[in-house]
């Protein structure tokens, strides 16, 4: 398992979700720190953080499917920006960010 934990950005969603369960069961504690390509513990924490952050996006996608949050997980993709321009921002959008600013 530890050979595949290097940089969480290079893992597929499915692999990250699988590792999330294992890491969470075995970890003493976890947090978010930079440096996941250098240290195993940081790489594991990064996987936990990404899955923890992305899970609510899948639930949000059910409420607002036209924003495609299950795919972009809140990042400003071209598709997501186009949805904001067409439909406006929701209460869930961060109003201090770029296109969502009031």
pLDDT digits (tens, 9 = 90+) for 12-67: 888 888 888 888 777 766 665 556 666 787 788 888 888 888 888 888 999 999 99
- The tally of domains found in the chain comes to 2
- DSSP 8-state symbol, 53: H
> Does residue 5 sit in the same domain as residue 30?
yes
4 within some domain: yes
95 within some domain: yes
> Does residue 47 sit in the same domain as residue 1?
yes
> Does residue 49 sit in the same domain as residue 16?
yes
> Does residue 76 sit in the same domain as residue 37?
no
pLDDT value of position 87: 92
> Does residue 16 sit in the same domain as residue 36?
yes
pLDDT value of position 65: 92
> Does residue 47 sit in the same domain as residue 68?
no
| CA distance linking residue 66 with residue 68, whole number of Å | 5
pLDDT value of position 1: 54
7 within some domain: yes
> Does residue 1 sit in the same domain as residue 34?
yes
| CA distance linking residue 88 with residue 34, whole number of Å | 33
The average pLDDT across 77-93 equals 90
| CA distance linking residue 5 with residue 37, whole number of Å | 8
Q: How confident is the model at residue 83 (pLDDT cuts 50, 70, 90)?
A: very high
The domain in which residue 99 lies consists of 64-102
59 within some domain: no
| CA distance linking residue 102 with residue 98, whole number of Å | 9
pLDDT value of position 78: 92
């Amino acid at each position: 398992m530890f050979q595949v934990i290097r940089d969480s950005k290079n893992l597929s969603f499915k692999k990250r979700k699988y590792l999330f369960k294992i890491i969470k069961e075995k970890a003493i504690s976890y947090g978010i720190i930079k440096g996941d390509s250098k240290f195993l513990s940081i790489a594991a924490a990064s996987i936990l953080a990404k899955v923890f952050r992305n899970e609510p996006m899948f639930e949000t996608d059910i409420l607002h499917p036209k924003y495609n949050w299950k795919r972009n997980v809140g990042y400003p993709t071209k598709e997501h920006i186009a949805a904001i321009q067409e439909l406006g921002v929701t209460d869930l959008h961060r109003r201090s960010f770029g296109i969502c600013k009031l």
